Amino acid sequence: MGEVIVITSGKGGVGKTTTAANVGAGLAYLGKKVVLVDTDIGLRNLDMALGLENRIVFDIVDVTSGNCRLRQALIKDKRLDGLHLLPAAQTKDKTAVSPEQMKALCDDLRQEFEYIIIDCPAGIEQGFRNAIAGADKAIVITTPEVSAVRDADRIIGLLEASELREPALIVNRIRPKMVRQGDMMSIEDIIDILAVDLLGVIPEDEMIVITTNRGEPVVLDQSSRLGQSYRNIVKRILGEDVPMMSLDEEGFFGKIRKMFGMR
Amino acid sequence: MAISKESNNSPLPKHTAVDQEDLVDDNTILVQRTLRSGQTISYHGNVVVLGDVNPGAEIAATGNIIVMGALRGVVHAGAGGDENAIVLAFKLQPTQLRISDHITRPPDNEAIDTAHPEMARIKDGVVTIEAFQTPPERQAKP
């Protein structure tokens, strides 16, 4: 039986879709059978992060309303054998699917996949209700901004009310230099307020813009620090005990080591 | 902040002197969790929270409010007019603190580090915050 993990945040633009794409690709790279479900109906994005936009024929609404079979709507990834995508509909809205339908859909996907990763839309309305309906676990994403942390806190409260206890936290787009100067919230400050377990930290990096626009998950880039931070998260999801990556900039010796291909 | 109707209907207890005995009320609710953003409690009586009150959370009580943790949200003690109500927290850092019809907020651009439990109450018509100490006669004898 597969595990259904919802990736959510409350606030928009903190990296839910990017994280979903990378966690999904990372799990598939390690040989797991994974399906990514985009529940952001009307604002379809996850297909672009994976570079699968031009392959969509049927979508999640076609499946839940019985227009097609589940198998027909699933898109196989072009790079990874184990990775599949169930895209959102672009021409409908969030009311096109009900929480009960989502629950049934998750149960169907559970039969066939080891990990079902659900990309949740921003907000706390029906889209969010749908996304969490069938989930076993939740990953909450935030950035080190007071508004994002406030929304994450609200989301954790709503998850707890829906019996999704002990969500894991990912802090995205942290800038170690600004934290050191006291201009940005630190991981400790965020944990102090949210009081949940930390699953991973992703540093701010221009590279994510490039890879996401190209539709290539950065987790597959073995040489980058950014890819490493996603790979660590994937390993922790699989139950490995991976220490948190030091956030300090590499420094002189780090650069030399990089030149010689040592990591 | 609106108080739910039920909590406003019954008459409030009358206090004559600011004495600790007067803080005792029959109605007390124990909240055994952290209040997160968007969660509210309004109660006719005292509220005791075993956990934090995060920014964006709100508590309104006709009596006293005690937070065994960090108080960072909005609280209203003595909602309904009790000037003797107090707010007590291990870490008193509220977004806004109201007692009866007095509304206060922390000073702008000033990070206050509260290392000790603190208590807010109305003294001479002003909300004052002082370090909370158990009165000497109630402290455990060595």
Q: Which residues pair with B121 in a beta bridge?
A: B128
Q: Tokens at residue B80, please?
A: 């309904």
Closest CA to A172 of A185, A153, A154, A158: A185
Write down how long chain A is: 263
Question: For the domain that residue B82 is a member of, what is the CATH number?
Answer: 2.160.20.70
CB contact (8 A) between residue B52 and residue A151: no
ipTM higher than the 0.85 cut: no
* Contact call for residues A68 and A58 (beta carbons, < 8 A): yes
Residue A196 is inside which H or E element, if any?
none
CB pairs under 8 A between A and B: 28
pTM of the model: 0.82
Q: Structure tokens of A159?
A: 């998850």
Collect all residues of chain A within an 8 Å Cβ-Cβ radius of residue B38: 154, 157-158
The pLDDT tens digits along chain A (263 residues) read 899 999 999 999 999 999 999 999 999 999 999 999 999 999 999 999 999 998 999 999 999 999 999 999 999 999 999 999 999 999 999 999 999 999 999 999 999 999 999 999 999 999 999 999 999 999 999 999 999 999 999 999 999 999 999 999 999 999 999 999 999 999 999 999 999 999 999 999 999 999 999 999 999 999 999 999 999 999 999 999 999 987 765 555 555 555 665 54
Residue B119 lies in a domain: yes
Cα gap A111→A132, rounded to integer Å? 18
Provide the 3-class DSSP secondary structure of residue A86. strand
Contact B38 A195 (CB under 8 A): no
Distances in Å between the Cα of B134 and the Cα atoms of A73, B70, B116, B118 are 67, 19, 12, 11
B12 occurs within a structural domain: no
Q: Closest-CA residue in chain B for A196?
A: B34
Q: Count of domains in chain A?
A: 1
Which domain does B63 fall in, by range?
27-105+113-133
Structure tokens that stand for B112 in this block? 């206050």
A251: left (phi over 0), alpha (psi -120 to 50) or beta: left
For A20, the domain range is 3-259
pLDDT digits (tens, 9 = 90+) for A19-29: 999 999 999 99
Residue B47's DSSP bridge partners are B29, B65
Here the CATH number for the domain that contains residue A37 is 3.40.50.300
pLDDT, average across residues B60-88: 96
Kindly state the helix (H) or strand (E) to which residue A142 belongs, with its residue range: strand A137-142
- Interface contact B56-A153, CB threshold 8 A: yes
Tell me the shortest Cα–Cα distance from A170 to chain B, in angstroms. Answer: 18
Q: Is residue B94 part of a domain?
A: yes
CB contact under 8 A, B36 and A156: yes
